[in-house]
Structure 1
């Protein structure tokens, strides 16, 4: 049974107290209205109308049911109104997943919140591969490209890594000339919090074809501690360029082995595919793309 249509027919019949008039209003014959009411009564297990050849009135159960139906339709109208508003104005909770290094994007996220104060940002920073749809994310920002037919993707800015160390460290330990020299240095490595694996340093392979073995004197599962240790003279760190460009310009860190580093990674923003994404998602994507493309 189409319950919504059945309830609508019942409410019309309760208003008119006439199957003939109800049928005229809803585009059914009076017999079709009568059958619809009979099916509804059978499902509910009560009589909704007293019927006679002269008149039709609501039973006590029918009056109670009418009150509940009116509430249902009132709530439905409120919901329609709210959705109409939501379809035209960015508002409501926006759940966004970001990688750990996305902390560097906070100035952009703050600017977005200031421009769209009726959008409530819910940010989750994690390097694990979240399931966008099943975990209820409105959008996620990831490193690299993702193949998922359920998601729409837009590429943002790319970035590279730089190997950096403090002037005091290089003065004391010497400047590495080639990647193999790192075996004699203190190297500060990033460890993925979910897998526990070390992030490989992006070197061109050695002439013999082998992979450069980078020792780890200290590890961290966030960029900021590695940056702090490098600035304190504890070793060489591999840091995304947008984290260190100002620090390098100020002379607090010095790049090393630049000719050996070959690295380019891309930020992407993804959201559930839809013919008409919600305004809050649409403006978020456009805002971040304008700032990061």
Structure 2
């Protein structure tokens, strides 16, 4: 059964509703009411002669026909995107909205993001800061920036840079509690630990003794699922924290934090940018990926590869 050419908008409404599993959320993204979304979907179902959603008072779920139709709609929009891409390549400057998900620690990337906005003023950044594990494709992101390994085979990935960790504390803390000279001295100190939001596990400090063997971390004083509170607590003298070097470099330069046992911390991390492999790498995305790879981390911390 064919649809009239003015149904592209209706297909978009259906896709948004299917990906958000909510008429209300879809309407919010599209700038229309939830009732307008429901009516558009109902008209589409009437045209097709099939039910696309199971509806309840709490949620909507796709019917088998709806799931099949969603995949076909995604292919349609990929073709539309490809056509737009061919036209946009004739333009001198990339433009358009770029929706990016970043970890909460990405707030520390704001200088780099600001520089990108100055370099590419026609690209509008739509930034979502969250440590939850987002579904890039289902939630409609153009790209996500995350630490760690990439495990989703549906996504393309590029390494933006690697970074080391520093064990830091406030000068006043060391005056009061002494400065650890060896990893074994940490048993007498208090630790401020980061908890991974997805797993609930504490991040390992990877401390090594002179023989290269792991050393237990100090007694827990506080735990946080975000890095910024740990920085603040460390500056206030509540304990030691093992944090990404890029997150504390300015505090180290100002002297509000001091690092210890630099050669005993074996921890490191990697920033990656990921985007759907089914999507064409539009000029705006290519510009963002290249800029972040070149500028996210300083030359002393960065090690990039494609």
Q: TM-score range by the shorter chain?
A: 0.5 to 0.7
Show the counterpart of 1:262.
Answer: 266
Structure 1, unmatched stretches of 5+, are 6-42, 44-77
CA contact (8 A) 2:155 2:274 kept: yes
Shift >4 Å, 4+ stretches: 1-5, 78-89, 205-211
Q: Aligned Cα RMSD in Å?
A: 3.1
Show the counterpart of 2:230.
Answer: 226
Structure 2, unmatched stretches of 5+, are 6-46, 48-79, 297-303
Show the counterpart of 1:216.
Answer: 220
Aligned residue pairs: how many?
A: 222
* Residue of 239, 246, 251 corresponding to 2:250: 246
* Cα 1:198/1:98, change in 2 over 3 Å: same
Say which one has the larger Rg: 1
- TM-score, normalised to structure 2, is 0.63
Residue 176 of structure 1, CA deviation: 1.7
* Cα 1:206/1:191, change in 2 over 3 Å: farther
Show the counterpart of 1:116.
Answer: 120
Show the counterpart of 2:139.
Answer: 135
CA contact (8 A) 1:133 1:272 kept: yes
Separation of aligned partners in 1, 2:171 and 2:203? 24
Determine whether 1:173 maps to 2:195. no
* Residue of 108, 112, 129 corresponding to 1:104: 108
Determine whether 1:282 maps to 2:286. yes
CA contact (8 A) 2:144 2:273 kept: yes
Determine whether 1:126 maps to 2:130. yes
Local SS of the residue matching 2:176: helix
Residue 105 of structure 1, CA deviation: 0.8
* Cα 1:144/1:257, change in 2 over 3 Å: same
Separation of aligned partners in 2, 1:80 and 1:285? 19
* Residue of 200, 203, 212 corresponding to 1:199: 203
Separation of aligned partners in 1, 2:276 and 2:112? 22
Residue 118 of structure 1, CA deviation: 3.1
Please list, as runs of the form range in 1=range in 2, the aligned pairs for 1:136-155 lying within 5 A after superposition.
136-155=140-159
Residue 264 of structure 1, CA deviation: 2.0
Please list, as runs of the form range in 1=range in 2, the aligned pairs for 1:22-37 lying within 5 A after superposition.
none
CA contact (8 A) 1:205 1:212 kept: no
For residues 251-293 of structure 1, the C-alpha deviation after alignment (integer angstroms, 9 at most, x for no partner) is 2221112232112211111111257412221111111122134
Residue 134 of structure 1, CA deviation: 1.6
CA contact (8 A) 2:133 2:198 kept: no
Local SS of the residue matching 1:248: helix
Separation of aligned partners in 1, 2:212 and 2:117? 52
Please list, as runs of the form range in 1=range in 2, the aligned pairs for 1:31-50 lying within 5 A after superposition.
none
Please list, as runs of the form range in 1=range in 2, the aligned pairs for 1:61-100 lying within 5 A after superposition.
85-86=87-88, 88=91, 90-100=94-104
Show the counterpart of 1:182.
Answer: 186
